[in-house]
Amino acid sequence: MAAKPGIPKGTRDFSPVEMAKRNYIFNTIREVFHLFGYQQIETPSMENLSTLMGKYGDEGDKLLFKIQNSGDYFSGITDEELLSRNAVKLAGKFCEKGLRYDLTVPFARYVVMHRDEISFPFKRYQIQPVWRADRPQKGRYREFYQCDADVVGSNSLLNEVELVQMIDRVFNKFGVRISVKINNRKILTGIAEIIGEADKIVDITVAIDKLDKIGLDNVNAELASKGIPQEAIDKLQPIILLSGSNEEKLETLKTVLATSETGMKGVEESEFILKTVASLGVKSEVELDLTLARGLNYYTGAIFEVKALDVQIGSISGGGRYDNLTGVFGMDGMSGVGISFGADRIFDVLNQLDLYPKEAVNGTELLFVNFGEKETAYCLPVLAKMRDAGVRAEIYPDSAKMKKQMGYANDKQIPFVAIVGENEMAEGKLTLKNMTTGEQSLLTSDELLKTVRG
């Protein structure tokens, strides 16, 4: 007996209806990207590990899916190395490539490789899958799509403002209420400086970023485990738990970070973004959140994260400014900023809130019943006419029993069925059945088109 087939944990199959929903998501996001002048590119699913490693911090490196070399991957490996069972070292010997972890690092590699073909500032978007060897859980998958938009070659904060506008426009189109969280890595660096732990900035940001997930006590315990003194942890508490309006938070930070040049620069940048966004009538809630750290090491300025207000799920979009990412590929001085929409989480949010427009998930609109060769020959030109007019139509391929064909229409939720027998052919018409109401009408092909288009 054959083994029951399955798929890897953290991956999913998608039915035709689910794919229609996903395409609605992709198309909506794509329309907004185009509206703001972004152009589409694609990069390979796998990259050289030398491109990926070291770009996401130690935690990110552990989540990279590595691809085993083809051929004799044992060649060049000693028995001693094999017997050592050192997984990290052996993986470095066995694997030269990996599945991409995100779309930003491959994009940086693309910019460096194609710099002579690109006009800067370069605004690009990608809608492609990424892979992470993470523990699967609700809203977290090992294979998922990202919808990224980045602009490189410009230091202007207007780019950050536009990204917030794009976030706002996308989720307003979806009908999802969101909160856009904003912070700045320069502010976090300033905080690390004033508590006397500037060299621990990565440990601090990684820990703070987990506040929503593990709570304040566990964040403090993690900070202590990284060698940060209790005195410094105590100084950190009122800062990361700062409350009030955006204006009040900024004024407090101006006082707290007055002795940190880097921190004050972050406050200045945040103030410009928040004030400009507020003046543009953005509908979504935009909040300065000092607990937002986004653990990825390459962020250097403004950082963003989007939360759905009516669904319990992780962030559904995020991003930020990175001033030195292309430098690791030999191209210094190329600043960039971008956001990523988590299509799979957005899919779950729209499902839970039942926000898909009916027209987005509808498949076939009109089915022609097949009673035999003569009837089919009569129907085919009408079918072609319907398709030429943009009606999604099909004919049942086999001359099967009426019950079977009507069951097919019901299973596919086809709203209209066209029936042609001897009487209809004699009159040059068709009988149209409305599958919702059960009503039937004898119509010409022109009347049929008008009725279906309704």
Binding site as annotated, residues for L-histidine:
102-104, 132, 146, 150, 294, 298-299
SS3 label, residue 64: coil
Q: Where are the beta strands (DSSP E) in 23-92?
A: 39-40, 46-48, 66-68
Residue numbering of the annotated binding site: 102-104, 132, 146, 150, 294, 298-299
Say which residues have a Cβ less than 8 Å from residue 374's Cβ, sequence separation at least 6: 425
184 pairs with which residues across the strands?
302
Structure tokens belonging to residue 370: 């097949």
Which contiguous run of DSSP H or E holds residue 396?
Answer: none
Written as six digits, the tokens of 335 are 């600043």
Distance between CA atoms of residues 129 and 45, nearest Å: 8
* Cα distances (angstroms) measured from residue 287 to each of 58, 190, 259, 290: 29, 19, 25, 10
Please, what is the end-to-end C-alpha distance for the chain in angstroms? 52
Q: Which residues neighbour 122 within 8 Å (Cβ) at sequence distance 6 or greater? A: 111, 151, 152, 153
Q: Tokens 């279906």 belong to which residue?
A: 452
**CA-CA distance, 338 to 126, in Å (whole number)?**
11
CA-based R_g, the chain, Å: 28
Contact of 316 with 306, CB cutoff 8 Å: yes
Q: 3-state class of 263 per DSSP? A: helix
**CA 151 to mean position of chain CA atoms:** 17
CA distance 100 to 88: 18
